Amino acid sequence: MDELVQGFTQAIQLIFSFDPALYEIIFLSLRVSGTALALSVVIGVPVGAALGLSRLRLRGLVTALLYTGMGLPPVVVGLFVYLMLSRSGPFGGLSWLFSPTAMVVAQVIIAFPLVAGLTMTTVQGVDPALRLQVRSLGATRWQETWAVLREARIGVIAAIVAAFGSIISEVGAVMLVGGNIDGKTRVLTTAIVLNTRTGEFVLALALGVILLMLAFIANVAMLQLQRRAGD
Amino acid sequence: MNAIYRLEKLKKEYEQRNIVDIDELEIRAGEILALVGPSGAGKSTLLRLLNFLETPTSGKIVYQDQSVNGYLSIDTRRQVTTVFQRPILLRASVRANVAYGLGLRGKPSDGRIDEMLARVGLEKLMNAPAHKLSGGEMQRVALARALVIDPQVLLLDEPTANLDPYNVGLIEEIVREQNRTRQITIVLVTHNVFQAKRLADRVGLMLGGRLVEVKKTVEFFDAPSDPRTTAFVRGEMVY
């Protein structure tokens, strides 16, 4: 219990110490997860909407694959990306391994099925009569799709929140493909693992509290958006 | 009056069942045509065909002398709109809902919206969330949204079903007024023969997807040709 209190106190002290090393870790965490989230949204929302609106014969199979992807263990994703980006892998020439780019790739693979799958589900939940109504008012196919997405926006925001939560807190994949290199690929989660292993429990806890705070702030912002969308 | 629609041997089938099977029908520009009949008679499906939301299984729909079975330009499609029995409103304000169709056409949301909101008696609720309105208010939003885009044809699918007498009266008054002042062609589907009698220039009876007869309103009620029409207007057919 004492360690928890100390961890919390140290987290506050660390935040206000403006230690450049700490802020570098925080900013890298946000940059990697933010970029991965943005890419997942840009790809995942249209894919989810298209699947939700289409009557493809293979939709059942695609849905099953997406749902499986939603439960992918991050460490398996990390291993897969590691093999792809290692020197002997098909994308070894890119020299992305042990770089933030590799971490972004791994996190996109984790976040994409969540964004696409939950968007698909929420789009399927929109009243089918809405499509008929907007078409009757003169909507083109694109305008119709946009109208459905707008109606599903609360669910889409929930999908983004879920995806952000899963990648900002994941450690297995970024550890494998980033390597936890000080000043280069160290993020909050990998720093927590390192400090725990070296017995720096209070520091590890403090970083954990900072991570929780970041997740909390991001979720409050998303909830505000969701509330505004619901009015 | 010129025909705005001509239907020729029009059929719509679902799972090998004839939902609509009309040999011939002309809908005249500027008229109010009411289609009455029991549930499952194919009236709503016919409206969807007239709004180009479905394609016929066979036969032809000619709209403004243009066959619509093939490609139809978006401009032509936008001349026709429907108010459905259950108003489907967007999760947005009343004003945004009424402005929706204009936005699709890239037209500015000018004074027409305020004017239309005032006409349907919702000017004080223009900023209210549309999904929190009563059923009657929602249907008035749907009607305002359809009228503000200045359609040539307005299709009404049971627009006053389940509404209170005040809302029924108001909606009927607006429909009549818009037809007379703007010469909008209106096809009204209703279970309510009294509403058909109050509003329509001509009335048609549909049964099992077929059009039994179409006559001027007075003749339809006072001198129907078909015994099934006589029975229907007497309320002998239970549905």
Tell me the residue type at A78: G
Tell me the residue type at A158: A
Task: Supply the mean pLDDT for chain A.
Answer: 92
- The whole-number pLDDT of residue A5 equals 84
Residues of B in contact with A151 (CB under 8 A): 90-91
A6: which residues sit within 8 A by CB, 6+ positions away?
Answer: A202, A205
A135 → closest Cβ in B53, B91, B155: B53
**Token representation of residue B178:** 């818009």
- Dmax over CA atoms of chain A, in Å, equals 66
B31: which residues sit within 8 A by CB, 6+ positions away?
Answer: B1, B185, B186, B201, B202
- Nearest CA to B153 out of B69, B77, B238, B61 is that of B77
* DSSP bridge pairs for B188: B34, B156
- Nearest CA to B56 out of B17, B102, B100, B9 is that of B9
Query: Which residue of chain A is at minimal alpha-carbon distance from B50?
Result: A136
* Higher pLDDT pick, A3 / A231: A3
Binary contact (B104, A135; C-beta < 8 A): no
| Percent of chain B residues topping a pLDDT of 70 | 98
Question: What is the least distance, in Å, from the CA of B104 to any CA of chain A?
Answer: 6
| Percent of chain A residues topping a pLDDT of 70 | 99
User: Is pLDDT at A179 greater than 60 in this prediction?
Assistant: yes
- The whole-number pLDDT of residue B109 equals 77
Name the pLDDT band for B228 (thresholds 50, 70, 90).
very high
Backbone angles phi, psi at B127, to 5 degrees: -100, 0
**Token representation of residue B28:** 């005249």
B88 → closest Cβ in A127, A140, A150: A127
| B73-to-B101, B152, B186, B221 alpha-carbon distances in Å | 17, 15, 21, 39
Domain count along chain A: 1
B81 → closest Cβ in A129, A136, A153: A136
> A153-157, A169-173, A200-204: which range is least confident on average?
A200-204
Backbone angles phi, psi at B80, to 5 degrees: -125, 135
Backbone angles phi, psi at B120, to 5 degrees: -90, 5
Name the pLDDT band for A19 (thresholds 50, 70, 90).
confident
Tell me if B113 sits within 8 A of B95, measured CB to CB. Answer: yes
Name the pLDDT band for B111 (thresholds 50, 70, 90).
confident
Domain CATH for A160: 1.10.3720.10
- The whole-number pLDDT of residue A54 equals 86
Q: What are the pLDDT digits (tens) for B50-65?
A: 999 999 999 999 999 9
Provide the domain limits for residue A39: 2-230
| Percent of chain A residues topping a pLDDT of 90 | 75
Binary contact (B149, A231; C-beta < 8 A): no
Tell me if B62 sits within 8 A of B22, measured CB to CB. Answer: no
Would you give the end-to-end CA distance of chain B in angstroms?
Answer: 34
- The whole-number pLDDT of residue B104 equals 95
Tell me if B27 sits within 8 A of B3, measured CB to CB. Answer: yes
- The whole-number pLDDT of residue B44 equals 95
Name the pLDDT band for A17 (thresholds 50, 70, 90).
confident
Mutate to test the interface with B, among A122, A130, A135, A137 (most CBs of B within 10 A): A137
**Token representation of residue A155:** 């669910």
Question: Quick count: other Cβ atoms within 10 Å of Cβ B14?
Answer: 11
- Nearest CA to A152 out of A164, A141, A144, A162 is that of A144
Binary contact (A138, B53; C-beta < 8 A): no
Binary contact (A151, B91; C-beta < 8 A): yes
Q: What are the pLDDT digits (tens) for A20-44?
A: 888 999 999 999 999 999 999 999 9
**Token representation of residue A173:** 């994949």
Q: How far apart are CA A113 and CA A162, in angstroms?
A: 11
Q: How far apart are CA A16 and CA A213, in angstroms?
A: 14
Q: How far apart are CA A155 and CA A161, in angstroms?
A: 10
Interface of A with B (CB under 8 A): 127, 129-130, 132-140, 143, 147, 150-151, 153, 229-231
Query: Which residue of chain A is at minimal alpha-carbon distance from B131?
Result: A231
| Percent of chain B residues topping a pLDDT of 90 | 84
Q: How far apart are CA A46 and CA A115, in angstroms?
A: 10
User: Is pLDDT at A174 greater than 60 in this prediction?
Assistant: yes
Give me the DSSP letters along B67-135. E-SS---HHHHTTEEEE-SS----SSBHHHHHHHHHHHTT----HHHHHHHHHTT-GGGTTSBGGGS-H
- The whole-number pLDDT of residue B222 equals 94
Question: What is the least distance, in Å, from the CA of A94 to any CA of chain B?
Answer: 45
Binary contact (B91, A136; C-beta < 8 A): no
Question: What is the least distance, in Å, from the CA of A151 to any CA of chain B?
Answer: 6
Between vectors from CA B119 to CA B113 and to CA B122, what angle results, nearest 5°? 75
Q: What are the pLDDT digits (tens) for A36-94?
A: 999 999 999 999 999 999 887 788 888 899 999 999 999 999 999 999 999 999 999 99
Backbone angles phi, psi at B219, to 5 degrees: -65, -40
Over range A198-219, report the average pLDDT. Answer: 90
Q: What are the pLDDT digits (tens) for A106-144?
A: 999 999 999 999 999 999 999 999 999 999 999 999 999
Name the pLDDT band for B1 (thresholds 50, 70, 90).
low
Question: What is the least distance, in Å, from the CA of B129 to any CA of chain A?
Answer: 7
Name the pLDDT band for B188 (thresholds 50, 70, 90).
very high
Question: What is the least distance, in Å, from the CA of B208 to any CA of chain A?
Answer: 24
Q: How many CB pairs under 8 A join A and B?
A: 51
DSSP class of residue B57? S
B96: which residues sit within 8 A by CB, 6+ positions away?
Answer: B90, B130
Question: What is the least distance, in Å, from the CA of A139 to any CA of chain B?
Answer: 6
Binary contact (B104, A229; C-beta < 8 A): no
User: Is pLDDT at B238 greater than 70 in this prediction?
Assistant: no
Question: What is the least distance, in Å, from the CA of A5 to any CA of chain B?
Answer: 45
Tell me the residue type at B56: P
Over range B176-192, report the average pLDDT. Answer: 95
Q: What are the pLDDT digits (tens) for B46-99?
A: 999 999 999 999 999 999 998 887 678 999 999 999 999 999 999 999 999 999
- The whole-number pLDDT of residue A2 equals 78
Mutate to test the interface with A, among B80, B104, B157, B158 (most CBs of A within 10 A): B104
Query: Which residue of chain B is at minimal alpha-carbon distance from A151?
Result: B91
A219: which residues sit within 8 A by CB, 6+ positions away?
Answer: A161, A164, A165
Can you say whether residue B28 is alpha, beta or left, with left for phi > 0 and alpha for psi between -120 and 50 degrees? Answer: beta
Name the pLDDT band for A230 (thresholds 50, 70, 90).
low
- The whole-number pLDDT of residue A231 equals 62
Q: What are the pLDDT digits (tens) for B115-147?
A: 999 999 999 999 999 999 999 999 999 999 999
Over range A201-212, report the average pLDDT. Answer: 89
Binary contact (B101, A137; C-beta < 8 A): yes
Binary contact (A143, B86; C-beta < 8 A): no
